[in-house]
Amino acid sequence: MSKNEVSNQVIEVNRICTGTEFHGTLKSTSDIRIDGFFEGKINTLGKLVIGEFAKLIGEATCKSCDIWGEVDGKIVVKEVFGLRKSGKIKGKVSCQKIFIEEGGEFNGTCKMITEEEFDGIQGNPEQQ
């Protein structure tokens, strides 16, 4: 790379901040971070992060996911679903890989899926 070239490595993140409430549908090609309260549906081609003091009620479809806060609903993940030590989930998870840190609370079901199954679910929301 020459001195005059500028790198276009801008990471775009949509964010629902602490103290913010959102009700509805959110679609994005970028990462999403929730630190407030979200009720509804999320669909992103990026990573979904639920912050330590955040709460998600509803459904989410994403490339990867890290849960530090609380989720009540259904999550479909193309790659890796991670439940961190402060995280809590009550509901259904579909993913290729999963990890749960010691202290994370999982109360629900997990279905391991392939990339092809993810693509089928994403194209047909009734299968979720």
pTM of the full predicted structure?
0.86
Domain boundaries, the chain: 13-117
State the residue for tokens 């609380």.
70
Residue-wise pLDDT tens for the chain (128 aa)?
Answer: 444 444 444 578 999 999 999 999 999 999 999 999 999 999 999 999 999 999 999 999 999 999 999 999 999 999 999 999 999 999 999 999 999 999 999 999 999 999 989 988 776 544 44
Predicted pLDDT at 11: 75
Distances (CA, A) of 111 to 9, 82, 92, 93: 34, 14, 8, 6
